[in-house]
């Protein structure tokens, strides 16, 4: 009996050690940072391409107040309610004291300055594909924005989701920790669009359905998804007849620039804020996004219900 208990205890200890090792946060080293300082002008552009203010500005913020990244917006999901944190330049309540490498690892690896895992409600699965220099540029621009003393709200999550360590296993399942790699078989324009859509734009985070663990179902990428709060659906943006197959490239780029859809309607819901950010991109980049979306394989809408754009 003692031998059995000892064996069980030993296996338990080994299991915990294996779990602990597997869930160690994977981070980018300081040597991988660019030697030059971040470019604020480029950072402003990438800030809007990445949609930072859409989540991190205070609820109801308008105009310049959207640049006060006080956080507080809520995001309901099957795993609980997440609240966007304060990422302003406030040194205590925000991230004003963070170094470039701490910021890069938060954005691209989902690891906070204190070394803990961040929840994937923050789209680091997409941001992992960004160029490190683009992220450093964003930090340079954000360093010019106002500080907010507002406290970040704690996430409202049931057990065991409050224990962040397990997110290390989630990352091993669904992240590859690799930057965007251009496809040599497509045009430079399509590759630029692919980078913007799959990296800073993080379009698949909403437009791709997820499995029971909250990971994206890659075979159904961009084919639409249930709205995480359980209310409504998110559109199919593949060139399928159930998606945007009838839209031309010009109509896609025009919609992103102006907010007006080909059917003389306008974007609604969370897409309003996305379009506001996209409107600040160059016409060339909007055309690149359109070219990439039209190059995707057509897929029927998921879930199996017609979604209105």
- In this structure, what CATH number is given to the domain that contains residue 255? 1.10.760
pLDDT at 280: 96
Q: Which of 149, 174, 199 is the last residue of a domain?
A: 174
Beta bridge partners of 156: 81
Low-confidence ranges of the chain (pLDDT < 50): 305-309
For residues 140 and 228, state if they share a domain.
no
Per-residue pLDDT tens for 136-170?
A: 999 999 999 999 999 999 999 998 889 999 999 99
pLDDT at 304: 61
pLDDT at 99: 97
For residues 94 and 55, state if they share a domain.
yes
Q: Which of 150, 174, 198 is the last residue of a domain?
A: 174
- Number of domains observed in the structure of the chain: 2
For residues 129 and 34, state if they share a domain.
yes
pLDDT at 253: 97
Q: Which domain holds residue 50?
A: 27-174
Which tokens sit at 291? 């070219």
For residues 152 and 284, state if they share a domain.
no
pTM greater than the 0.85 cutoff: yes
Q: Is there a domain that residue 131 lies in?
A: yes
For residues 126 and 249, state if they share a domain.
no
pLDDT at 309: 35
């Amino acid at each position: 009996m003692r031998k059995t208990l000892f064996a069980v205890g030993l296996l338990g200890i080994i299991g915990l050690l294996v779990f602990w090792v597997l869930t160690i946060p994977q981070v980018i080293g300081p040597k991988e940072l660019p030697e030059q300082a971040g470019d604020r002008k480029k950072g402003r552009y990438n800030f809007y391409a990445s949609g930072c203010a859409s989540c991190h500005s205070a609820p109801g913020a308008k105009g310049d107040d959207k640049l006060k990244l006080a956080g507080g917006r809520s995001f309901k999901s099957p795993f609980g309610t997440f609240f966007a944190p304060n990422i302003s330049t406030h040194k205590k309540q925000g991230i004003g004291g963070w170094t470039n490498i701490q910021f890069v690892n938060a954005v691209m690896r989902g690891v906070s300055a204190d070394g803990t895992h961040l929840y994937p409600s923050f789209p680091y699965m997409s941001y992992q594909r960004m160029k490190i220099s683009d992220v450093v540029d964003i930090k340079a621009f954000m360093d010019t924005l106002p500080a907010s003393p507002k406290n970040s709200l704690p996430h409202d999550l049931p057990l065991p989701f409050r224990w962040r360590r397990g997110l290390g296993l989630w990352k091993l399942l669904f992240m590859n920790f690799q930057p965007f790699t251009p496809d040599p078989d497509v045009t430079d324009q399509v590759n630029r669009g692919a980078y913007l859509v799959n990296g800073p734009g993080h379009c698949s985070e909403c437009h791709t359905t997820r499995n029971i663990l909250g990971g994206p179902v890659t075979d159904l990428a961009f084919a639409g998804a249930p709205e995480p709060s359980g209310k409504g659906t998110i559109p199919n943006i593949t060139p399928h007849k159930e998606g945007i197959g009838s839209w031309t490239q010009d109509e896609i780029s025009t919609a992103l620039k102006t907010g007006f859809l080909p059917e003389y309607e306008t974007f609604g819901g969370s897409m309003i804020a996305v379009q506001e950010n996209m409107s600040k991109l160059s016409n060339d980049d909007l055309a690149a996004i359109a070219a990439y979306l039209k190059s995707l394989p057509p897929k029927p809408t998921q879930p199996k219900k017609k979604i209105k754009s």
